[in-house]
Structure 1
Amino acid sequence: MEATATLRERKKEATRQALYEAVLRLALERGLDDVTVEAVADEANVSRRTFSNYFANKEDALLHGDRTRIDKLLDGLRERPRDEPPWRALTMAAAAQFDPLTSIDASWLAQLQLLRRHPSLLARQVTAQGILEQQLAAMIAERDPGHPDEPMRSRVLAATFLATLRTATTVWAEQKGPMPLGAAVRAALDRAAEAFA
C-alpha cells in the first residue's frame, strides 16, 4: 500500500513539474500574457481538467518552482539539530540547499526575469514570502522557547534571513553568477550575521 502511495505521489509531482516547465517554456517563448491554460495543458500533454487539479491558473503553475524551493528550505531547517542557534540553523539549511548548485539554473534565472516583468507575479511571490516568513518565525521561536525578546526576535530573524536570500540571489542573477550561488548566499548571510553578533 505504501509503495502504491509513493508511486502515486511521484506521478503527481512529475505532472506538477511538467506543467511548471511547460508554462515557463511558453512564457519565455510568447510572453506570459499570451499563454493560456489550454496551451500549457497541451504543452505538458495533459487535459485542461488535469491542469485544474494541480493549479488554479498559469501564475500558480509558474510559481511552483518557488514553492518547491521553499518546502525544501523548511525541510532542511527541520532537519537541523534542535540545540543549534537559530541563525546558524538558517544559514546551514540555506547552505545545504544552495551549495550543490554549481552552475546557473537556466529555468530559475528565466523565472526571476519573468517575475521582474510581471507585477502580478511579484505580488503573488510577496504573498508566498509573507507566509514563509511566518513559518520560519514559528520554527525559530520553537528552537529557543522562552527567549525574552519573543515574538519580535524570531520575526526579525526570519525577515532578515529572507531579505538576505532575496538580495543575494538577485545580485547573483544580475551579475550572471560570477561565483557559485551557494558561495554568494553564504557570504550574504555571514554579512547579515554580523548585525546579530
Structure 2
Amino acid sequence: MTQAEGGLRARKKRETRAALAEAALRLALEKGPDNVTVEEIAEAADVSVRTFFNYFPHKEHAILGRNPEHIERALDRMREAPAEESPLTTMRFIVHDVLRDLEGEGELSRRGELIMASPHLLYQLMLSSFEDERQLTEALAERMGEPATSVRPALIVSASGAACRVAMERHKADPDRPIRELVDEGFQLLAEGIDPGFRVVPTKGHP
C-alpha cells in the first residue's frame, strides 16, 4: 500500500466513524438512547451492521462518540510532554485537546446534555473512562518515575477526569458558562488545593 493509499484509507475510516457517531447521536436525541437500535444507526450512516461493529462494540459507544484516536493522542502527549511541565498541566492540555476535537465535531454540548440525562449512558461513559484512566495513569507514573502502584499519578488522572465531569454538570445547569472555562476553574482548584484547611483528624474509636 502506498502512502497516498494509506492516507486515503485512514481518512475514509475517520469519516465512517464520524458518520456513525453523528447518526447515533442524532437518533438518540430524536428517539431517546434506549429506543435506538444498531440497525437504525447503520442505515442512517449508509453502512452495514457489520461495518458498524468494526468501529463500535455497541450502540452506547457510538452515541458517546468513543474514538480510540483520542486516547492514543493523549498518551503521545503524555510521553512527549516537556520535562519542566507539571503533571496536572499536562492533563489540562490533554483534556483541552479532546474538547477541541469534540467542539470541532459540533457535538460537545448536545452529547454532554444527553449523557447527563441518561443514567445508562453515564454508566457506560464511566466504564470506558476507567480504562482510559488506567492507561493514562501508567504513562504518567512512568513519566514521573514513580511505581505503577503509586497513588499520586492515579489521583492526578482521576481528579482531572472528575473536573471534566463536574464541568459538564455545571454547564448543564448554567449553559452560559463555556465548558472550557468550567474545566479550567476545576483544574485551578485542584492545583491550589480544594480544601487547604484539611487535616487528618482521628475519628472516634479509630487511631
- Which TM-score band applies after superposition, normalised by the shorter structure? 0.7 to 0.9
Note if contact 2:78-2:140 (Cα within 8 Å) is conserved in structure 1.
Answer: no
TM-superposed CA distance for 1:17, in Å, is: 0.7
Q: Which moved more, 1:85-94 or 1:17-26?
A: 85-94
Name the larger-Rg structure. 2
* Cα distance in 2, alignment partners of residues 113 and 71 from structure 1: 26
Structure 1: stretches of 5+ with no match in the other structure: none
Shift of 1:106: 5.5
Pick from 167, 188, 191 the counterpart of residue 189 of structure 2: 191
The alpha carbon displacement at 1:82 in A equals: 3.4
Query: Matches of 2:4 and 2:186 in 1, distance apart?
Result: 42
| Mapped contact 1:72–1:97 kept (Cα < 8 A) | no
Structure 2 residue aligned with 1:113: 113
Distance 2:105 2:55 in 1: 24
**Aligned-pair distance for 1:162?**
1.2
Q: Structure 2: which 5+ runs fail to align?
A: 197-207
1:16-35 equivalence runs, <5 A: 16-35=17-36
Partner of 1:153: 152
CA distance 1:6–1:66, change in 2 (3 Å): closer
Compared with structure 1, are the counterparts of its residues 163 and 16 closer, same or farther at alpha carbon in structure 2 (3 Å cutoff)?
same
Is the contact made by 1:141 and 1:151 (CA closer than 8 Å) also made in structure 2?
yes
**Number of residue-to-residue matches in the alignment:** 193
The aligned amino acid for 1:13 is: R
Higher relative contact order (CA 8 A, sep 6+): 1
The TM-score normalised by the length of structure 1 is 0.82
CA distance 1:183–1:78, change in 2 (3 Å) = farther
Deviation for aligned residue 1:69: 4.7
- Residue 165 in structure 1 maps to residue 164 in structure 2: yes
- The reply to whether residue 41 of structure 1 matches residue 37 of structure 2 is no
CA distance in 2, matches of 1:177, 1:66: 28
Shift of 1:9: 1.2
Q: Distance in 2 between matches of 1:67 and 1:59?
A: 15
Q: Please report the TM-score for the alignment, with normalisation by the length of structure 2.
A: 0.79
Aligned CA RMSD, in angstroms, stands at: 2.9
* Cα distance between partner residues in 2 of 1:107 and 1:134: 26
Is 184-193 or 54-63 further displaced after alignment? 54-63
> Residues 103-126 of structure 1: CA distance to partner in whole angstroms, max 9, x if unpaired?
897622222222233322222111
8 Å CA contact 2:113, 2:172 repeated in 1: no
Residues 95 and 186 of structure 1 are in contact (CA less than 8 Å); yes or no, is this contact kept in structure 2? Answer: no
Question: Which residue number in structure 2 is paired with residue 92 of structure 1?
Answer: 93
